[in-house]
C-alpha cells in the first residue's frame, strides 16, 4: 500500500511538470514530416473502445505491433523510451488491452475478459492497422503474457505476419514456477535474506494455483532481480515521462495491473499448459529474445522450447545484462536487433 502511494505521489509530481499529448515527428525547422503518423486514439475492438498509440516517421514502413505483458501491464508508458529507433524503421503500435492501462474502466468493471475475446480483439486490431496502412503482413512482438497470446495468433493467422518475436517467452507455467522457485531459494540462502526465506515458506511450494500466492511469489522474484536488474525507481521514472498518459491514466494503470489477470487467472495461469507439447510448429519465422537473468520466464526453459520449434526461420537471442525487460535494460541493443530482424525478412 505504501509503495503504491509513493508511486502515485511521484507520478503526480512529474505529471505537474510535464507535457500531456502526442509529440509529432518534426524536422529541424519544427515542421511535421508529411508522411509521418503520431496518434493516440480509441478503436472499438469487440464490445469495447480501447486505446491505441500509433507512431512512425514514415507511414510506408512496415507495421510493428507490441503485445504487452500481464495481463494488465501495458507498455505504452514506456513507448517514448523503447521505440525511438524503432519509429524510424516501423510504424509502431502499442495497444492497452481490455482491463489494462488507459483502457481500464476506472471505477467500473470490464465485461467479457477471456482468452477468446483477447484473441478476437487482437485479430480485429491487426485487421484495422493492416488495412489502414495498406500492409498485407505486419511484425508482431509479444512480451510475457503477450507472448502467450502472440503464439496463438501466428498459429491461427500466419498469413498476417512477417515474423513473430517472443520476448520473455512463456512456455510451461508450472515448470517455469519450479525453476524460478529453485533459483529464488538458492539466491535467498546465498544472500542470507531471512525475511524472504520466511515469506517463501509462508507461500509454499509451486505450483501456485491461486493468484494471490503467485503474485506474492513473483514479488520475491522481482525483489531478487529476476524481473529487472536495475532500480525500480528508474522504471517508474521512465513510465511517468510518457506524454500520452495523464494522472487518471496512471491511476487506471496501477488499478488495472491485477484487473485483467484476475479474470484470466483460472482460464490460463491457474491451469497447466506446455507449449513444447502443444504449440511448436509455425508457418511464420520465430525469434526469441530473453534476458540471461530472467526468472519470470526462465532462459533454460525458453532454450529447451526453442529446440522443439519448427518454423521457416528461427533464432534465439540472449541479453546477458537483462532479466525480464531486455528492451529497458539494453534498449539500444534491443532496437538494433529488431531492425536487423526486419532486414532479414524485408530486403
Rounded Cα distance, 137 and 201, in Å: 49
Helix, strand, coil percent content, the chain, rounded in steps of 5: 50, 20, 35
List the one residue out of 11, 150, 149, 9 whose CA is nearest residue 77.
11
Question: Please, which contacts does 202-208 make with residues 24 or more away whose CB atoms are closer than 8 Å?
Answer: 205/181, 206/174, 206/177, 206/178, 206/180, 206/181, 207/173, 207/174, 207/177, 207/178, 207/272, 208/177
Q: Which fold has domain 2-172+233-345?
A: Rossmann fold (3.40.50)
For 308-333, the three-class secondary structure string (H helix, E strand, C coil) is HCECCCEEEEEECCCCCCHHHHCHHH
For 27, how many CA atoms within 13 A lie in the half-sphere containing its CB? 6
Grid coordinates representing 312 are 521457416
Q: How far apart are CA 95 and CA 101, in angstroms?
A: 9
C-alpha cell at 246: 495523464
Distance of CA 297 to the CA centre of its chain: 12
Give the pLDDT confidence score for residue 193 in this predicted structure.
75
Read off the pTM.
0.92
d(CA 200, CA 153): 36
Rounded Cα distance, 302 and 290, in Å: 8
Task: Report the half-sphere exposure of 181 (CA within 13 A, side-chain side).
Answer: 20
Q: What is the pLDDT of residue 188?
A: 83
Per domain, the residue ranges of the chain are: 2-172+233-345
Secondary structure E strands in the chain: 37-45, 48-56, 63-67, 91-95, 138-143, 161-167, 286-291, 314-319
Which grid cell is 202? 509462508
Instruction: Please report, in tens digits, the pLDDT of each residue of the chain (347 residues total).
Output: 455 555 555 555 555 444 566 777 676 667 777 899 999 999 999 989 999 999 999 999 999 999 999 888 999 999 999 999 999 999 999 999 998 999 987 666 666 788 999 999 999 999 999 999 999 999 999 999 999 999 999 999 999 999 999 999 999 999 999 999 999 999 887 777 778 888 898 999 999 988 888 889 999 999 889 998 778 888 888 998 899 998 888 888 888 776 656 778 778 888 889 999 999 999 999 999 999 999 999 999 999 999 999 999 999 999 999 999 999 999 999 999 999 999 999 97
Number of CB atoms found within 10 A of residue 268's CB: 19
Bridge partners, residue 69, by sequence: 73
Q: Residue 146 in 3-state DSSP? A: helix
Amino acid at each position: 500500500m505504501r509503495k503504491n502511494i509513493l508511486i502515485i505521489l511521484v507520478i503526480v509530481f512529474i505529471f505537474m511538470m510535464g507535457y500531456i499529448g502526442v509529440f509529432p515527428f518534426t524536422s529541424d525547422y519544427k515542421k511535421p514530416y508529411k508522411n509521418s503518423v503520431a496518434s493516440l486514439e480509441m478503436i472499438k475492438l469487440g464490445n469495447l473502445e480501447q486505446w491505441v498509440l500509433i507512431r512512425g516517421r514514415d507511414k510506408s514502413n512496415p507495421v510493428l505491433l507490441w503485445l504487452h505483458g500481464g495481463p494488465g501491464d501495458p507498455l505504452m508508458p514506456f513507448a517514448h523510451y523503447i521505440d525511438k529507433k524503432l519509429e524510424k524503421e516501423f510504424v509502431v503500435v502499442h495497444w492497452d488491452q481490455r482491463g489494462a492501462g488507459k483502457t481500464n474502466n476506472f471505477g467500473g468493471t470490464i465485461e467479457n475478459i477471456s482468452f477468446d475475446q483477447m484473441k478476437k480483439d487482437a485479430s480485429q486490431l491487426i485487421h484495422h492497422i493492416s488495412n489502414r496502412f495498406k500492409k498485407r503482413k505486419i511484425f508482431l512482438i509479444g512480451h510475457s503474457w503477450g507472448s502467450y497470446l502472440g503464439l496463438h495468433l501466428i498459429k491461427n493467422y500466419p498469413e498476417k505476419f512477417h515474423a513473430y518475436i517472443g520476448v520473455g517467452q512463456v512456455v510451461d507455467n508450472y515448470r517455469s514456477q519450479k525453476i524460478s522457485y529453485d533459483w529464488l531459494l538458492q539466491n535467498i540462502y546465498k544472500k542470507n535474506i531471512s525475511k524472504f526465506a520466511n515469506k517463501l515458506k509462508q507461500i509454499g511450494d509451486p505450483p501456485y494455483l491461486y493468484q494471490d500466492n503467485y503474485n506474492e511469489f513473483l514479488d520475491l522474484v522481482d525483489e531478487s532481480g529476476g524481473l529487472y536488474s536495475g532500480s525500480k525507481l528508474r522504471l517508474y521514472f521512465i513510465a511517468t515521462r510518457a506524454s500520452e498518459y495523464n494522472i487518471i491514466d496512471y491511476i487506471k494503470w496501477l488499478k488495472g495491473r491485477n484487473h485483467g489477470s484476475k479474470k484470466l487467472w483460472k482460464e490460463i495461469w491457474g491451469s497447466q499448459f506446455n507449449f513444447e507439447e502443444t504449440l511448436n510448429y509455425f508457418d511464420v519465422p520465430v525469434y526469441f529474445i530473453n534476458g540471461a537473468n530472467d526468472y519470470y520466464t526462465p532462459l533454460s526453459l525458453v532454450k529447451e522450447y526453442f529446440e522443439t520449434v519448427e518454423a521457416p526461420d528461427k533464432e534465439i537471442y540472449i541479453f546477458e545484462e537483462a532479466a525480464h525487460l531486455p528492451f529497458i535494460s539494453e534498449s539500444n541493443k534491443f532496437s538494433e536487433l529488431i531492425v536487423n530482424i526486419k532486414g532479414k525478412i524485408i530486403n
